[in-house]
Structure 1
């Protein structure tokens, strides 16, 4: 059969994920739900629903070399840090914040209300492995900074300051 160079071949590969669907992990006042995974998107896009309890830290200042990260706030006020010095931004529902590669960023909930957001990673770089490893690492009796850094680096995350990288407030 001769290959057709002039016509598109259409495919039915759509994915629909309902509001309460997806694998969910909960730890340290944070829950994350896998909505669109690396496997479903051929590693092109990862979409994750994040819920931060009051005063919860999502991530300290870090950057990515090979993926972009987009934050969409759905509920509450998120504190977003950007730039090498961690400029502070308070962003509310409907706000979209884009952190392209090599852009330092971090986020946390500094309020007494729950914050809900959607995180998008493009490409996704198998981000689900990062979240599963994070769940394992942060649910240990003591957090091993070397293990945490190894996980971070494996999944294209690089702390700006390794002495202040763990997502806990007492540092």
Structure 2
């Protein structure tokens, strides 16, 4: 059969994930739900719902070399930290934050209310492995900084300051 260079071959590959669907786990006051995974998107896109408990830290200042990260605030007031000068932005529902490659960023909930965000990685680079490893690493007490850094680096995350990289509040 002759190859057709002029017409698109349409496929029915849409994925619909309902609000209560997806793999969910909780650690250190943070709930993660995998919505669109690397497997579903052929490693092109990862979409995750994240709920931060009051005063929870999602991530300290870090950057990615090979992927972009986008945040959409669904509920609550998120503190997003950007740049090497630690500029803090307090943003509410409907806000979109785009952190392209090599852009330092971190996020946390500085309020006494829950914060709900959608987090997207493009490409996703098997990000689910990072979240599963993070769950294991942060379950260890005390947290092993070397194990944490190894996980971070494997999944294209690089702390700006390795002395202040663990997602715990300094007392």
The separation in 2 between residues aligned to 1:142 and 1:118, in whole angstroms, is 29
Q: Which runs of 5+ in 2 are unaligned?
A: none
Offset at 1:86? 1.2
Q: Which residue of 1 aligns with 2:162?
A: 162
Aligned length: 171
Equivalent position of 2:58 in the other structure: 58
CA-atom RMSD in angstroms? 0.7
Q: Distance in 2 between matches of 1:144 and 1:170?
A: 16
Match in the other structure for 1:99: 99
TM-score (norm 2): 0.99
- Could you tell me how far 1:114 is from its partner in structure 2? 0.2
CA distance in 1, matches of 2:161, 2:100: 19
The runs of 4+ residues in structure 1 deviating greater than 2 Å are none
Distance 1:111 1:52 in 2: 10
Which residue matches 1:143? Answer: 143
User: CA offset at residue 170 of structure 1?
Assistant: 2.4
Task: Report what 1:113 is aligned to.
Answer: 113
Per the normalisation by structure 1, the TM-score is 0.99
Please state how far the C-alpha of 1:44 moved relative to its aligned partner: 0.6
* 5+ long unaligned stretches in structure 1: none
Question: SS of the counterpart of 1:33?
Answer: strand
Other structure's SS at 2:41 match: coil
Matches of 1:122 and 1:141 in 2, distance apart? 32
Listed one character per residue, the Cα deviations across residues 5-59 of structure 1 (whole Å, up to 9, x for unaligned) are 1111000001000000000110100001000000000111000000000000000
Q: 1:22: which partner in 2?
A: 22
Return the alpha-carbon distance in structure 1 between the equivalents of residues 132 and 21 of structure 2: 17
